[in-house]
């Protein structure tokens, strides 16, 4: 069943990526950098005195955000990754969260910060928070660069949010469209031209 769904998602992704589109800038690289700086001040106040903060990036979308966050944080940090997927290559959430890659290290008794690129329906963040809580961390906080509250289906909110955005199809700064555009230094809005 999962195999069939993967094939369907792949075909959907291939078809979508052939539709012509342009990307309009929504949040500039400069605005993101300024917000990252602010967010890090808040994170530092929360975790001041920690002997080690484990910063957990949710792959793949958070890889740019987590890289900027940890370089801005003036705290002893360790970085780990978890891959959770709810979308495949399609645009619709499958509402089923799969853990494709688990953490390398244990988090029991540790301070943990989960880093998400975008909270949409909320299924991914909610699932990951429950999973990590069950492992007994001392403190578990979460941060999302973007939040689309109008799309929420599961009640969840990151402890810190970079920007609340309307229900637009966004890409860049780690976020993809059919696996492309993750390398844009800003957040852009996809506008189909055909
Ligand atoms: C995207 C995004 C978030 C999640 C948010 O991940 O990176 O992790 O969906 O959606 P939700 O709130 O509706 O659950 P995706 O599964 O596309 O994987 P990716 O990070 O590898 O692009």
User: What is the model's pTM?
Assistant: 0.90
Residues of the domain holding 50: 2-192
**188: Cβ below 6 Å to ligand 1?**
no
Number of domains into which the chain is organized: 1
Q: Assess whether 167 carries a catalytic annotation.
A: no
Look up the CATH number of the domain holding residue 129.
Answer: 3.40.50.2020
Q: Indicate the pLDDT class of residue 53, thresholds 50, 70 and 90.
A: very high
Does 88 sit in the ligand 1 pocket, CB within 6 Å?
A: no
- Mean pLDDT over residues 24-35, rounded? 98
Pocket test for ligand 1, best of 86, 143, 165 (most atoms within 8 A of CB): 86
Output the CA torsion 58→74→27→179 (10° steps): -30
Average pLDDT, stretch 11-15?
Answer: 63
Catalytic pick from 68, 111, 120, 147?
120
Instruction: Give the pLDDT score at 4.
Output: 66
Question: How do residues 88-125 score in pLDDT, each as one tens digit?
Answer: 445 555 578 889 999 999 999 999 999 999 999 999 99
What pLDDT is stored for residue 92 in this prediction?
58
User: Angle CA(25)–CA(40)–CA(110) in degrees, nearest 5?
Assistant: 125
Q: What is the pLDDT of residue 86?
A: 75
Mean pLDDT, residues 45-70 taken together = 97
Q: What's the pLDDT score for residue 59?
A: 96
């Amino acid at each position: 069943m999962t195999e069939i769904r993967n094939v369907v998602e792949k075909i959907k992704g291939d078809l979508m990526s052939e539709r012509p589109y342009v990307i309009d800038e929504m949040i500039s690289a400069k605005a993101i950098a300024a917000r990252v700086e602010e967010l890090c001040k808040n994170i530092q106040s929360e975790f001041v005195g920690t002997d080690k903060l484990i910063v957990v990036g949710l792959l793949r979308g958070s890889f740019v955000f987590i890289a900027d966050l940890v370089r801005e944080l003036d705290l002893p940090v360790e970085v780990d990754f978890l891959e959770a997927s709810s979308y495949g290559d399609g645009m619709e959430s499958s509402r089923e969260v799969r853990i494709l890659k688990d953490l390398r290290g244990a988090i029991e008794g540790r301070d943990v910060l989960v880093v998400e690129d975008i909270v949409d329906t909320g299924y991914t963040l909610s699932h990951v928070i429950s999973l990590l809580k069950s492992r007994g961390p001392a403190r578990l906080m979460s941060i999302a660069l973007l939040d689309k509250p109008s799309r929420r289906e599961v009640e969840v909110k990151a402890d810190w949010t970079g920007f609340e955005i309307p229900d637009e199809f966004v890409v860049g700064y780690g976020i993809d469209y059919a696996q492309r555009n993750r390398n844009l230094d800003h957040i852009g809005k996809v506008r189909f031209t055909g």
